[in-house]
Amino acid sequence: MTLRWNHFTAGFVALTLAGAPASAQLFIYPPDFSGPPVTTLEPGIALPLPGATPDEVRSSLIWNLRAGLNVAALQCQFSPFLGTVRNYNQLLRHQAAELDSARASLERYFKRVHSKAGPRAFDQYTTRTYNNFSTLYGQLGFCQTAAQIGRAALATPKGSFHELAVARLREFRNSLRPVGDRIFSVNYSQFHLPRLVDPCLDKKGRRKKRC
């Protein structure tokens, strides 16, 4: 089936967009970025912290999720309805205690590991964490996912932000890869056509004198 852009198609898309929830307005059929929970500092999820305690690992997951939402607040302002700036500012107030605790935990880690160079190492770690959430071609998926996670963060009870980080950080990372709207995905069926023999050609492919 070929999707032809006509009045029917345009009307269908318009109705679909009108009936879609606010969180799905960047896509008609949003990509699926979901993934299993994150409990360790896996490659591609968070920067390694050699010798980190379980509390410091948890703090790193919190710090990564906060950093991603901060980047989204800066990069996703092209679509105000996503509310990434509003969500992030409210998050800082709503989850202030847990965010402050995570920062203090990471500062202690870098002081323990790097001594006097700890503050600088922590700043470098934070900068690299921000940079790891930068995306260009995956911006739509990233911004939509950030909006969803931001709203979930505001609905998360105070002191439980780490649980959201465990549950959604992999999804957040997955959203950085470029994808398209699933409505435009086309599945092609493969089949073999029978070989057609031209009766006017001989076995060597030359045209017969009489045909």
For the stretch 34-52, pLDDT in tens is 888 998 888 889 999 999 9
Count of structural domains, the chain: 1
Judge whether 5 lies within some domain: no
pLDDT band, residue 194 (cuts 50/70/90) = low
Q: Is the pLDDT of residue 91 over 80?
A: yes
- Residue 209 has what pLDDT? 72
- Residue 10 has what pLDDT? 38
158-165: average pLDDT: 96
Sign of CA dihedral 155, 44, 70, 134: negative
Please give the residue range of the domain that contains residue 53: 21-180
Percent of the chain at pLDDT > 90 equals 54
Q: Is 39 helix (H, G, I), strand (E, B) or coil?
A: coil
Judge whether 2 lies within some domain: no
Close Cβ partners of 50 (under 8 Å, ≥ 6 residues apart): 113
Judge whether 89 lies within some domain: yes
